[in-house]
Amino acid sequence: DAGVIQSPRHEVTEMGQEVTLRCKPISGHDYLFWYRQTMMRGLELLIYFNNNVPIDDSGMPEDRFSAKMPNASFSTLKIQPSEPRDSAVYFCASSLGTGYTFGSGTRLTVV
């Protein structure tokens, strides 16, 4: 199994631009989570899905953030428009049962 796959690994964009982060969970996992990691706030849960359905998006910081999971093998996190304070590492994780498997994360830099 290739694990949870995230792309891109690094993203540098200018303020105001749209950014789309991608995640492919492990096949058969029924939960998918998006986290944001910063030095100041640590790991923050943004949103999670169960069987492709969004369950809790209360962690999404603003309306500029949106996430979708059109099928069991793909999810996106979109930021539009992006701002410098969105700079962080964004992780996707999937699970079946009690443990998580994380992707390698996307480091987003908004200049």
Partner 1 sequence: AQTVTQSQPEMSVQEAETVTLSCTYDTSESDYYLFWYKQPPSRQMILVIRQEAYKQQNATENRFSVNFQKAAKSFSLKISDSQLGDAAMYFCAYRSASDNFNKFYFGSGTKLNVKP
Site of interaction with partner 1 (CB under 8 A): 31, 33, 42-43, 45, 48, 50, 55-56, 89, 91, 93, 95, 97-102, 104-105, 107
Q: With respect to partner 1, which residue has the nearer C-beta, 76 or 101?
A: 101
Minimum Å gap between C-beta 16 and partner 1 is: 27
Q: With respect to partner 1, which residue has the nearer C-beta, 22 or 81?
A: 22
Q: With respect to partner 1, which residue has the nearer C-beta, 22 or 107?
A: 107
Q: With respect to partner 1, which residue has the nearer C-beta, 5 or 64?
A: 5
Minimum Å gap between C-beta 31 and partner 1 is: 5
Sequence-distant contacts of 102-107: CB under 8 A, at least 24 apart: 102/4, 103/3, 103/4, 103/5, 103/6, 103/23, 104/6, 104/9, 105/6, 105/9, 105/37, 106/6, 106/7, 106/8, 106/9, 106/10, 106/11, 106/21, 107/9, 107/10, 107/11
